[in-house]
Amino acid sequence: MADHSRHLPGPVPRALSEPLVRVGQLIDAGRVVEARVALEASQGEPADLVELMRLKLSVAAREIDPSTALSRVIALLERAPGHPAAMRVYQELSLLQYAEGRSCPSFSHPPPARRL
């Protein structure tokens, strides 16, 4: 796998920390209130990763539409192509939209191309 960090303004988080992984698990399990509490308690985590979890939580809580969250994830990917956590959230949101009949992944905007 190629290292894309040289194209970013700072180090690229390679994976979510254990507290943020737990937030994602709570969201996936439908435990939105617990996920919100855990996310607010995650001090010192990288801002971009917290924002990605906040977007995922907001969609799960039906506070924002998946397409709105998806556009914010795409904006992050434009700044940091290949960002692993953003790519995963992008895929999850795209599949959610597809499952809800709101879009088709083959016609939606793909994430920015990886730069080599």
Q: Which pLDDT tens digit goes with each residue over 32-90?
A: 999 999 999 988 899 999 999 999 999 999 999 988 999 999 999 998 888 899 999 99
pTM (2 decimals)?
Answer: 0.75
- What is the C-alpha R_g of the chain? 14
Q: Per the structure block, which two tokens stand in for 57?
A: 């939580």
Domain count of the chain?
Answer: 1
Q: Is residue 22 included in any domain, yes or no? A: yes
- pLDDT at position 95 over 70: yes
37 domain-assigned: yes
Average pLDDT over residues 13-40: 91
- Domain annotation covers residue 54: yes
pLDDT in tens, 53-65: 999 999 999 999 9
Q: What is the pLDDT of residue 1?
A: 38
| Residue 77 domain boundaries | 17-99
Say how many residues make up the chain. Answer: 116
